[in-house]
């Protein structure tokens, strides 16, 4: 697998990472633990060196899973995790499905990091993101707290998630930001308006989550697909039957490009992201080995310039229906 460097940070990772959330959180019941450990280790064997988790996934269960699975590879893989949700009042709540409570106070950051270190079974967190910007805590205080953890050897690199350009600049002035995590794909192109320019200027890498549109861009879903109530997508406006029917035009476009390149729609969606900037590292998630192999196959696809032009032009002309989050979650992005 080719390697990429996240901006000017020097943090080198596989060109495609693995998002681990769905193994424990958001998409129905947690998956079988031995199977997920096997999958994570299979990813390492295939050259994946970049794994993404968070304390809120479970909560806590996903970090523990990743820590156990990757312990034999300590020092040869990069694990990213996140802080920023207040889980104390109800640690069993699914914070991304309920009304979120944020907490990025420096004392909470220190407490969260100590817990993550224990669950991940590491001496230092390779990449620590603020999961969502906390409007109550100045971003300078957050960056300063992480800077202190870096000086103490508990954290190696600082990241932000779903932050606005102005916030990124303020944080970066206190502690260099290695990477920004944000949703970015052929049906979520908001980062192109200002964010990509800011990241390029500051030397910050971009880690797109949901590069396959939470599974929709693979072509495996349509308006008739039954999404269970315990599936996070059940609450998303973009996944109503009406929106899925309207958004099928984008899937059909990707499928046509895939056929021309003897690839799958998922591979084209990921290859498109890889072609946007050399410091972009998508983290598609999966719980199945065959899907892992399919996703990683995108790293070998070099889309012809004509296909990139066609894909960009046609995708831009398609108006995606439905907001990506309900209001309660949209309010905590882009700050």
> Contact 246/223 with Cβ under 8 angstroms?
no
What residue spans define the domains of the chain?
Answer: 3-213+277-301
Rounded distance between C-alpha atoms, residue 10 and residue 30, angstroms: 34
Q: Which two tokens stand for residue 130?
A: 């603020």
Tokens of 308: 């990139």
CA 100 – CA 170 distance, rounded (Å):
24
Beta pairing, strands 177-183 & 205-209: parallel
**In contact, 212 and 185? CB cutoff 8 Å:** yes
The tens-digit pLDDT sequence of the chain (335 residues) is 999 999 999 999 999 999 999 999 999 999 999 999 999 999 999 999 999 999 999 999 999 999 999 999 999 999 999 999 999 765 554 444 456 899 999 999 999 999 999 999 999 999 999 999 999 999 999 999 999 999 999 999 999 999 999 999 999 999 999 999 999 999 999 999 999 999 999 999 999 999 999 999 999 999 999 999 999 999 999 999 999 999 999 999 999 999 999 999 999 999 999 999 999 999 999 999 999 999 999 999 999 999 999 899 989 999 999 999 999 999 999 99
Tell me how crowded residue 304 is: count the other CB atoms within 10 A of its CB: 11
Please tell me the predicted confidence (pLDDT) of residue 88. Answer: 78
Residue among 57, 129, 209, 325 flagged as catalytic: 57
Return the pLDDT at 257.
Answer: 95
- Residue 93: its pLDDT value, please? 47
- Note whether 126 and 11 are within 8 A (CB): yes
CA distances to 23, 83, 99, 178, 297 from 332, rounded to whole Å, are 24, 14, 10, 21, 34
Residue 64 tokens read as 């523990």
**Does residue 59 have a cis bond before it (omega within 30 degrees)?**
yes
The structure tokens listed for 148 are: 């202190």
Which residues fall within 8 angstroms of residue 207, CB to CB, at 6 or more apart? 6, 17, 52, 80, 159, 179, 180, 181, 182, 280, 281, 282, 283
| CATH annotation of 3-213+277-301 | 3.20.20.100
CB of 51 within 8 A of CB of 62? no
Q: Is 325 a catalytic residue?
A: no
CB neighbours of residue 314 within 10 Å: 17
As a whole number of angstroms, the distance between CA 214 and CA 220 comes to: 11
């Amino acid at each position: 697998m080719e390697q990429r460097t996240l901006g000017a940070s020097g943090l080198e990772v596989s060109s495609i990472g693995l998002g681990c959330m769905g193994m424990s959180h958001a998409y129905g019941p947690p998956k079988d633990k031995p199977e997920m450990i096997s999958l994570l280790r299979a990813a390492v064997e295939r050259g994946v060196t970049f794994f993404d988790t968070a304390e809120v996934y479970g909560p806590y269960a996903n970090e523990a899973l990743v820590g156990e699975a990757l312990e034999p590879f300590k020092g040869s893989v990069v694990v990213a995790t996140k802080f920023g949700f207040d889980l104390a009042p109800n640690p069993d709540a699914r914070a991304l499905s309920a009304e979120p409570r944020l907490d990025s106070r420096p004392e909470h950051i220190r407490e969260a990091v100590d817990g993550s270190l224990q669950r991940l079974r590491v001496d230092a967190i390779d990449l620590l993101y603020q999961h969502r910007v906390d409007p109550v805590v100045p971003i300078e205080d957050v960056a300063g707290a992480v800077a202190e953890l870096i000086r103490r050897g508990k954290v190696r690199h600082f990241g932000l998630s779903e932050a606005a350009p102005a916030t990124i600049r303020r944080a970066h002035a206190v502690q260099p930001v290695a990477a920004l995590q944000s949703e970015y794909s052929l049906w979520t192109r908001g980062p192109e308006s200002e964010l990509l320019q800011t990241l390029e200027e500051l030397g910050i890498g971009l880690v797109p989550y949901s590069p396959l549109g939470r599974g929709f861009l693979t072509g495996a879903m349509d308006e008739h697909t039954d999404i269970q109530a315990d599936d996070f997508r059940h609450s998303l406006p973009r996944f109503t039957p009406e929106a899925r029917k309207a958004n099928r035009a984008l899937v059909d476009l990707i499928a046509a490009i895939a056929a021309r390149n003897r690839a799958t729609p998922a591979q084209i969606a990921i290859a498109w992201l890889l072609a946007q900037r050399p410091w972009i590292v998508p983290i598609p998630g999966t719980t199945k080995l065959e899907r892992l192999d399919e996703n990683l196959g995108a790293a070998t696809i070099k889309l012809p310039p004509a296909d990139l032009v066609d894909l960009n032009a046609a995708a831009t002309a398609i108006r995606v229906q439905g907001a990506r989050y309900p209001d309660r979650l949209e309010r905590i992005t882009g700050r």
